[in-house]
């Protein structure tokens, strides 16, 4: 460990230097508080042993200055003092010293106190490392808690967070945003035909396909079951409808086998709604309700299509 020894008395200073070096530490010596203060600001020092009474700057002032810097990481400070009255010792500790050793000092006592300080610094270092690890774990946990583990897109909680922000921005700055509710057509039949494990694989496939089809600036979440919701930022209804159509086509063009539906391949239906000026006094849930209603219309009109809330249900083509 690197230890800064501050002592104005030459003989004592040399003795301290030699002894502490003999204990296996690196020693930097200073002859008063002011010189020590300059060294401290330039060097990485965690351990200081300083005399109290010194010219230029005394040990108490040095200690106060160091504490007031609020440097990262702990600095261990031992005060050497000929003062041994209780109130003087209290003054030293109040200035921020961790420990004191009365002069004339006993070297083996000083050694014990240096070791104690070293242990505290080691613990502090360990704690700091653990805290960093904990922060990293917390970030990861936060990420996991916002992600759907199967589809690997945002979950319902993440959606709530995102939509609240989008809606707030839209109300405040009259920006647009669109919502697309996507639903896998005849998913129940898929599960019945191919089994639940294949069903899960399909959910992941759909999520992956939609994720790569949306713009980087948009956000995608699992709403629940086989439903996915996309927030299309800063786009109005016609623009959102175009995005939805792109998503629908991305799935259709996979031509992925799905014997449980009339077309024989995988398709999705989409309901689209968007924030408009009249929504200033509405909640985001109102826009979501409209997207949901539009999805219902798409489902009722034969699936594999994009609808908006004002669309009329078309009779399902007979096959
Ligand atoms: Mg002195």
Q: What is the pLDDT of residues 164-215, one digit of tens each?
A: 999 999 999 888 999 999 999 999 999 999 999 999 999 999 999 999 999 8
What is the residue range of 92's domain? 2-138
The answer to the question of residue 283 being in a domain is yes
Distance 122 CA to ligand 1 centre (A): 30
Task: Give me the helices (H) in 146-236, please.
Answer: 156-173, 187-194, 196-213
> What's the rounded Cα separation, in Å, for the pair 157 and 163?
10
Do 89 and 187 belong together in one domain? no
Total domains in the chain come to 2
Q: What is the pLDDT of residues 82-115, one digit of tens each?
A: 877 777 778 888 888 998 888 888 889 999 999 9
Do 10 and 126 belong together in one domain? yes
CATH number at residue 104: 3.40.50.2300
Contact between residue 187 and residue 226 where contact means Cβ atoms under 8 Å apart: yes
Contact between residue 215 and residue 312 where contact means Cβ atoms under 8 Å apart: no
Do 160 and 66 belong together in one domain? no
The answer to the question of residue 318 being in a domain is no
262 contact partners, CB below 8 Å, separation of at least 6: 319
**pTM for the whole thing?**
0.68
Distance 82 CA to ligand 1 centre (A): 9
Calculate Rg over the CA atoms of the chain. 35
Distance 76 CA to ligand 1 centre (A): 20
Looking at 138, 173, 198, the residue that finishes a domain is 138
Instruction: Give the percent of the chain with pLDDT over 90.
Output: 80
Do 163 and 303 belong together in one domain? yes
Burial label for 91, CB within 10 Å (0-12, 13-18, 19+), is middle
Do 106 and 167 belong together in one domain? no
Do 196 and 300 belong together in one domain? yes
Task: Give me the helices (H) in 95-186, please.
Answer: 107-145, 156-173
In what helix (H) or strand (E) does residue 62 lie, and over which residues does it extend? helix 59-68
The answer to the question of residue 150 being in a domain is no
What is the reported pLDDT for 93? 83
The answer to the question of residue 317 being in a domain is no
Do 69 and 168 belong together in one domain? no
The answer to the question of residue 172 being in a domain is yes
Q: Beta partners for 181?
A: 229, 271
What is the reported pLDDT for 87? 77
Distance 81 CA to ligand 1 centre (A): 8
What is the reported pLDDT for 158? 95
Distance 61 CA to ligand 1 centre (A): 13
Do 116 and 169 belong together in one domain? no
The answer to the question of residue 296 being in a domain is yes
Do 29 and 123 belong together in one domain? yes
Distance 47 CA to ligand 1 centre (A): 19
Torsion (CA) 151, 157, 288, 237 in degrees, nearest 10: -70
- Model confidence band, residue 315 (pLDDT cutoffs 50, 70, 90): confident
The answer to the question of residue 143 being in a domain is no
CATH number at residue 209: 3.30.70.270
Do 39 and 177 belong together in one domain? no
The answer to the question of residue 252 being in a domain is yes
What is the reported pLDDT for 79? 92
Do 89 and 183 belong together in one domain? no
Which residues are the active-site residues? 226
What is the reported pLDDT for 11? 93
Distance 87 CA to ligand 1 centre (A): 19
């Amino acid at each position: 460990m690197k230890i800064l020894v501050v002592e104005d008395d030459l003989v004592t200073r040399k003795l301290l230097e030699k002894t502490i070096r003999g204990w296996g530490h690196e020693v930097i010596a200073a002859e008063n508080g002011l010189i020590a203060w300059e060294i401290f600001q330039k060097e990485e020092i965690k351990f200081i042993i300083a005399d109290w009474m010194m010219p230029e700057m005394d040990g108490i002032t040095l200690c106060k200055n160091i504490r007031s810097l609020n440097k990262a990481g702990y600095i261990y400070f031992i005060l050497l003092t000929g003062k041994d009255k209780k109130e003087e010792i209290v003054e030293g500790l109040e200035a921020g010293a961790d420990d004191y050793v009365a002069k004339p000092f006993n070297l083996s006592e000083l050694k014990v106190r240096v070791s104690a300080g070293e242990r505290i610094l080691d613990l502090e270092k360990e704690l700091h490392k653990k805290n960093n690890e904990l922060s990293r774990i917390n970030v990861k946990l936060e990420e996991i808690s916002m992600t759907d583990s199967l589809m690997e897109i945002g979950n319902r909680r993440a959606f709530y967070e995102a939509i609240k922000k989008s809606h707030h921005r839209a109300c405040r700055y009259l920006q647009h945003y669109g919502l697309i509710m996507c639903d896998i057509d005849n998913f129940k039949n898929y599960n019945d035909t191919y089994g639940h494990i294949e069903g899960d694989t399909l959910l992941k496939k759909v999520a992956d396909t939609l994720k790569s089809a949306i713009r980087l600036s948009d956000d995608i979440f699992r709403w629940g079951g086989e439903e996915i919701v996309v927030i299309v930022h800063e786009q109005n209804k016609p623009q959102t409808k175009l995005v939805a159509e792109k998503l629908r086509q991305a799935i259709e063009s996979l031509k992925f086998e799905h014997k449980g539906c009339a077309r024989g391949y995988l398709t999705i239906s989409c309901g689209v709604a968007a924030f408009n000026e009249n929504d200033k006094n509405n909640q985001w849930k109102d826009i979501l309700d409209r997207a949901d209603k539009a999805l219902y219309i798409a489902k009722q009109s034969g699936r594999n299509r994009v609808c908006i809330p004002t669309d009329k249900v078309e009779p399902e083509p007979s096959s």
